[in-house]
Amino acid sequence: MGHIIAKVQKAEKETEQVSLLTLDISINAQPGQFVMAWLPGTEEKPMSVANASPLQLAIADAGEASKKMASLKKGDILMVRGPYGKAFSPKGKKWLMVGGGYGFAPLRFLAKEGIKKGAQIQSIIGARSKKYLMKEAPGKNHFTTDDGSAGEKGNVMAVLEPLLKKEKFDCIYCCGPEKMMLAVALLAKKNKISCQLSVERYMKCGFGVCGHCAMGGWLSCIDGPTIDGEEALKNPQFGKLACDRAGKHVKI
């Protein structure tokens, strides 16, 4: 699949670390899918879709290529190919989003689409501190920060555990640091609630050829990035090991 040349229509600073770029193109993507974004002269990067029409990408300024993308301004060009990967699959009507850091971006897209279809949505949005908190989604929002500078003090579990004692949900959708997703998947299993995660691995091709994004025999780019929580828990590398850019296993 070739690249589409997109122009930045709007560049907003969503958090201290994240730029929300609105591009002048729309793509036929579902929440949970990703695109490969490229600035000539830098490495191509997978970016989860934060909105499909117009296409929005929430870019964290981590790493050289992403830093350059995050500093793009109105009128700048970004090359995009995709969408790729498996989207989240809607389940029932009562959904709970659990997002850590910029991992909340695809969940907000899912919440927007869910509300249009009549789903009842709550979101738990967590970050290290207030300046790293992503903006709210439609529905009811709960915020947590590790340092207590906004919302509940602690990580997303500080809200998730008591909430699951009070209310029933048909599905938990979760995206963020892998250790956080591991804890959420274990709690969902204990409470017998269906759970879907978005597992990120280092990606090169985006369509199942290079093998860089493998988590055991599971390829994040074509088998995922979304994965059922119970399936992830059965994968011995989930929450433990990932490949770096040289293809070497490193601890998470």
Tell me if 148 contacts ligand FES by CB under 6 A: no
Residue 148 or 247: which CB sits closer to ligand FES?
Answer: 247
**3-class state of residue 90 by DSSP:** coil
Tell me if 241 contacts ligand FES by CB under 6 A: no
**3-class state of residue 73 by DSSP:** coil
d(CA 78, CA 9): 11
Q: Taking contact as CB under 6 A, which single stretch among the options 72-80, 101-109, 152-160, 202-210 is the one that binds ligand FES?
A: 202-210
Residue with tokens 């597992």: 199
Q: Taking contact as CB under 6 A, which single stretch among the options 70-78, 111-119, 200-208, 235-243 is the one that binds ligand FES?
A: 200-208
* Furthest-apart CA atoms within the chain: distance in Å: 52
Q: Which of 210, 231, 240, 241 binds ligand FES (CB under 6 A)?
A: 210
Tell me if 208 contacts ligand FES by CB under 6 A: yes
User: Which DSSP state fits 3?
Assistant: P
Q: Taking contact as CB under 6 A, which single stretch among the options 11-19, 122-130, 185-193, 198-206 is the one that binds ligand FES?
A: 198-206
Q: Which of 75, 148, 162, 211 binds ligand FES (CB under 6 A)?
A: 211
Tell me if 94 contacts ligand FES by CB under 6 A: no
**Closest of 29, 194, 204 to residue 96, by C-alpha:** 194
CA distances from 154 to 121, 125, 150, 171 (A): 22, 11, 10, 23
Tell me if 213 contacts ligand FES by CB under 6 A: yes
Tell me if 81 contacts ligand FES by CB under 6 A: no
Tell me if 205 contacts ligand FES by CB under 6 A: yes
d(CA 43, CA 62): 13
Other CB atoms within 10 A of residue 192 CB: 6
Q: Which residues bind ligand FES (CB under 6 A)?
A: 203-206, 208-213, 219, 221
